[in-house]
Structure 1
Amino acid sequence: MGKVAVLDYGMGNLHSVASALDKVAPEAEVVLAQTPQQAQGAERLLVPGVGAIRDCMAGFVEAGFAPLLKDAIAADIPILGICVGMQIMMRHSEENNGVDCLDIFPQPVQFFGSDLPVVQGGERLKVPHMGWNSVRQTCEHPLWAGIADESRFYFVHSYYVPAEDNPVLAGRTEYGVPLASAVARENIFATQFHPEKSADAGLQLLKNFVSWNGRA
């Protein structure tokens, strides 16, 4: 399985991600890379992310990871983005009064808003979207292997990528609005949820990633 580089730009849940990778692929070399040089030779890249998008984008660019990621995309190296690691791949985010992202995917990142629907029991849905929710798989993909459709994964986020009219949609979740819980294109797969916190289904997705050849 070779070397898996988890990109450390100061904004990720790195140790739980690395621990989960070690659990599902003990034979892999998992590296927390703080520089592009430390990620050299990696057969897979994992882009985590927790926090505000402006700080995440600044940290990612300052670390020199933007060209590394684009070179990896061009070289067909398998890439997994998690949470804000997915959002920074989009075109633009409404968070922090608007932040331009990497524009790898042309979709926007939007705020849930303060007027989400009232659900059964009479309470309005709260922001952030926090906790377990089901994911409907919208395409066949190697990273869904062994994971039942509508499996539940763990989410923590206040901003989302819309599911409607989204040509790279790989997973869809409802939380007042239809949101993209996963996107995929060629050698990139990214999730809004945290697989490292999502019990058996999440561990299976990470296991699938470390054996994925980057082709759908």
Structure 2
Amino acid sequence: MSETRLHDPLIDALAQDLSPVRPLPGPVRRACLWIAVVCLLGIGLAGFADLDRMWARLTATPDMTLAAIGAAGCAILAAIAAFISSVPGRSPWWAALPLPAAALWIGASGLGCLRTDLLPDSMVEPPSDGMHCLVFIVSFSLPLSALLVLMLRRACPLRPDLSALLIGLASASAAATLLNLFHPFDAAATDLAVHALAVGLVILLNRILGGRLLGVAS
């Protein structure tokens, strides 16, 4: 009897009680599910926002429109990159996918700061309201981050720290995009600094906490 035949009964015994495993959907499809949740959240928040005022503000200031597009694009691309880079065999360079959108977001916000310096009639956010933006971005980023962590844990990502960074970037960008519904002010240096602080804080928290959770899963 060959060695293969001797192993057959053992293999059959081990496989007898195994339940079939349903494969996960593709990474882009899973990212779209998370993006859909963000869109539903935005629709719900829109019911409490002054949409006419928001639309008038964005159409009157192209730099703020570009910044909003960049933030939304960064959220979408960072989520896609988080799922794709977690798949075994995929290059970690997928993490660079959201960088062009992030550059647009930062660059357009910087142009907005320059515009407010040149135009004295710009409506600049009072320093006291900066904390509201910080709380908004962090508060909405945390549940969005938790959802992404739960979705990525099922895939047992091989690069938990990289996945956690992308989760933080996607969640913070999504929260910053939603903030446009309630942010009637032009960009200013202090405003940009507060937003950068909020985004950085969310990314850091995900790097510390999310990386550990994903590391346990993998």
Instruction: Answer whether TM exceeds 0.5 for this pair.
Output: no
**Bigger Cα Rg:** 2
TM-score, structure 2 length as denominator?
A: 0.29
TM-score, structure 1 length as denominator?
A: 0.30
User: Relative CO higher for 1 or 2, CA cutoff 8 Å, sep ≥ 6?
Assistant: 2
Between Structure 1 and Structure 2, the one with more helix by share is 2
Between Structure 1 and Structure 2, the one with more strand by share is 1
